[in-house]
Amino acid sequence: MTICVGNLSYQVTQEDLKEVFAYGSVKSLIVPTDRETGKIRGFAFVEMVEVPQADAAISKGWGVRCE
């Protein structure tokens, strides 16, 4: 299941997000960047291996289910 995470600081890194979601098994992590500046765009997509782990992150307010 993929979680959409928004309102991220423009200084956040993939490593920061990996730490936040380290309690579960992250299958993939995508942090889109602006093509011209290379800075992150303030959101990310975190794909979790296990649905219960994704549901736990959502219940903690860390993101919403991406459809």
Per-residue pLDDT at 22: 85
Q: What's the per-residue H, E or C state across 48-65?
A: ECCHHHHHHHHHCCCCEE
Structurally, how many domains does the chain consist of? 1
Percent of the chain with pLDDT over 70: 100
CATH of the domain at 22: 3.30.70.330
Q: The pTM is what?
A: 0.88
Owning domain of residue 60: 2-65
| Distances 11 to 15, 47, 54 between C-alpha atoms, Å | 11, 21, 24
Strands 64-65 and 2-5: antiparallel
- Contact call for residues 48 and 21 (beta carbons, < 8 A): yes
